[in-house]
Amino acid sequence: MNNAYEVLEERISEWGISNEEIIAVYIVGSRAREDKPFDEFSDLDVVVFSTNPDYYLQNDQWLLNIGKVWTSFMFRTAKGDPEKLVLFDQGAEVDFLFRHTSDLDHIIKNGRIPEGFQRGVRMLLDKTGNGNQIIPQTTTITVTPPISEGAYLQVVNMYCFASLYVAKQILRNDLWVAKQRDMDCNYCCK
C-alpha cells in the first residue's frame, strides 16, 4: 500500500506542476512526521495553495489527473476548514485541504508556521521559491495531558445518555434522529 501513496505523491506533484492555479503543495500529518511516523493504515494529508481553491473543493474532474477515484466528498476538519476526502484505487485515502495563495503570502509575510506543520511537513511543490519559509526548523512533539476524572465522568455520562436516546429513537422508528444521536455518541468519545 505504501507504494500506492508514493505513486499518488508523484502524480499530485505532476498535477500541481502542470496546473497554473496550483502554487504550492505540502504533505502534513503522519506521512510527514518523524516522532510518530505513518503505518500501513495512514492516509495522505495534502495542503494545496491555489488561486482557485473553491473549484477544487466543489468539483471532482481534476482528481482524474491524479488517479482512479472510488469516491470523494467534502468534509470539514476539526477546526472547520473545508477539505476534499478522496478514496483512490487500492483504497488509498487522500485528504486535500485547499487554501488560497493569499493565505500563503500572509503566512510567509508574518513568519508564522501553520499549526498543522509543527509536527512535521514535507514540501512537494513550490512555485514561489519561498515555500520553505513556512517549514519549521524543528518539529514539535505534542504531549497530550492525561484526562481528569471529571472529564472522564462527563464523557461516560454523555455516552450513556446518548446511547439510551438512540435506542428510544430506533424503537420509535425515527432512524434519522437515531443516526444523528449515534454520531453524537461517536463525537463525545473522541
Highest mean pLDDT among 25-34, 50-59, 162-171: 50-59
Please name the residue that has the C-alpha cell 455516552: 159
Checking if the pLDDT of 21 tops 90, the result is yes
Specify the pLDDT at position 87.
95
pTM of the model: 0.73
- Measuring CA to CA, how many Å separate 188 from each of 63, 95, 183, 184? 34, 23, 9, 6
Please name the residue that has the C-alpha cell 464523557: 155
* Dihedral of alpha carbons 154, 155, 161, 162, sign: positive
Quote the percentage of the chain above a pLDDT of 70.
89
Asked if residues 66 and 8 have their Cβ atoms less than 8 Å apart, the reply is yes
Range 36-43 average pLDDT: 73
> Using only C-alpha atoms, what is the Rg of the chain?
20
Specify the pLDDT at position 2.
60
Dihedral pair phi/psi, residue 35, rounded to 5°: -70, -40
Average pLDDT value over all residues in the chain = 85
Measured CA to CA, the distance from residue 70 to residue 115 in angstroms comes to 30
Dihedral pair phi/psi, residue 149, rounded to 5°: -60, -40
Half-sphere exposure of 110 (CA within 13 A, CB side): 9
Specify the pLDDT at position 81.
87
Give the closest residue to 160 by CA, choosing from 184, 176, 136.
184
